[in-house]
Amino acid sequence: VIGYLDQAASAPMSDACREAMQPWLDGRFGNPSGSHRIARAARTAIEDARDQVALLLGAQPREVVFTGGGTEAINLAIRGTADPTAPRRIITSAIEHDAVREAAAAQERCGEQHDRAGVDQDGVLDLDLLASLLDQSVRLVAIMAVNNEVGTVQPIEAAVQLIRAHTNAAVLVDAVQGAVWLDLRTLGLADLLVISGHKFGGPQGVGALRVREGVSIEPIIHGGGQERERRSGTQNVAGIVGMAAALADADVNRVAMINRVGALRNRLVDGILRSVPGAIETSRRSTKVAGNAHLCIQGVESESLLVLLDDAGICASAGSACASGAIHTSPVLQAMGVEESFAHGALRLTLGAANTDADVDLALAAIPAAVQRLRST
């Protein structure tokens, strides 16, 4: 029996996605840039998907650029809006995903200045700190919609108001972790917005960047000029069609899913807090999305705990792992001021549409046992 509690890393494909993709995996094909009927059918499928995604983002279809995932969309947003002849200043929240963190670091190497706006103990952006950093030298401010480790929802609307009052900087919202939980139309005020298919029941390796009309962007991938010259390369037709169907499905099911998953999450966290001495909930539940459980367990190393949990059939995460699998102290927990002895025992359990009570039962049996075993060795 497997309890998959790592939905924020990748969620299983939804039925709606699989059904939409099937014709494009099996029989239908064609290069969407071509001119004959097979090619035109592929192009029509992409443009229908673009209409669907745009509607769900509160955007115009021509503002939607399909990419090979969230990381690529973020890199396009950060580098593509830079003027290499006139380096300026970028501000990011202190808890951004590596994609934003490293793309901003790359801009620093190109001569741009990069400042980070701190967060409070729950991992929520401090608007006063943000305000203190804003002036006309800033060209881009990046704030994620929902944090990938601790699940906190960021005050995007208030931040955008503040940014607009002080600067004419573009606002980038990484909504990769928000798509399941938030109505993305409410983030329509962002200039640049990023989603990634595999976080909401779509396929891996497909994402989208919304570039608001009037924001000028240079491609970072050069070639045939697809996606209105903003992202060259033959589009992944099946992937794009599947992502659009998954996003529409997630949108329709959102409210019921949040209620159901929130109850599972609460039972899981309450159960762990009751049965594991020295466990704390990292941020208040009222500040975060329904599917995120994040705990810090004192005197336990995340890495060892994850191995024991894997043996017991629980797929979980420490919240912060490199592609190599190596675990480092999370910059997110550092920014929140979590004490080292707790941060080393970080455990992220993320739930979604596919989870059931059985997964929670399995975790509630496995986690206290694993912690006890680690403490007794």
Its sign, for the CA torsion 332, 125, 54, 31, is negative
Q: Given the complex with ligand PLP, which of 231 and 362 has the nearer CB atom?
A: 231
Cβ atoms 175, 187 nearer than 8 A: yes
How far apart CA 239 and CA 298 sit, in angstroms, is 42
Residues 199 and 49: their CA atoms lie apart, in Å, by 17
Closer residue to ligand PLP in complex, CB, 174/251: 174
Residue with nearest beta carbon to ligand PLP: 70
11 vs 268 by CB, closer to ligand PLP: 11
- C-alpha torsion sign, points 317, 322, 326, 329: negative
Bridge partners, residue 119, by sequence: 125
Closest to ligand PLP by CB, 165 or 322: 322
- Report which DSSP code applies to 81: T
Please give the helix or strand (H or E) that residue 113 lies within, else none: strand 113-117
Helix (H), strand (E) at residue 93: strand 89-93
Task: Report the distance separating Cα 375 and Cα 279, nearest Å.
Answer: 13
Q: Is 250 exposed, middle or buried (0-12, 13-18, 19+ CB in 10 A)?
A: buried
In the complex, what is the shortest distance from the CB of residue 66 to ligand PLP, in angstroms, rounded to a whole number? 12
Residue 17 falls in the annotated catalytic set: no
Minimum Å gap between C-beta 114 and ligand PLP is 17
- Smallest gap from Cβ 198 to ligand PLP, in A, equals 6
For ligand PLP, the closer CB: 174 or 249: 174
Nearest to 222 by CA among 32, 76, 70, 74: 76
Helix (H) or strand (E) holding 226, with range, is: helix 226-229
**Cα torsion 54, 260, 296, 303: sign:** negative
Catalytic residue among 17, 296, 315, 322: 322
Residue 124: its H or E element: none
Strand partners, 211: 192
CB of 175 to ligand PLP, least distance (A): 8
Q: How far is the CB of 194 from ligand PLP (least distance, A)?
A: 7
Pick 72 or 251: Cβ nearer ligand PLP: 72
DSSP of 11-23: PPPPHHHHHHHHH
> What is the nearest approach in angstroms of ligand PLP to the Cβ of residue 351?
15
Q: Enumerate binding residues for ligand PLP (CB under 6 A).
A: 69-71, 97, 99, 144, 148, 174, 176-177, 196, 207
Q: What residues are labeled active site? A: 322
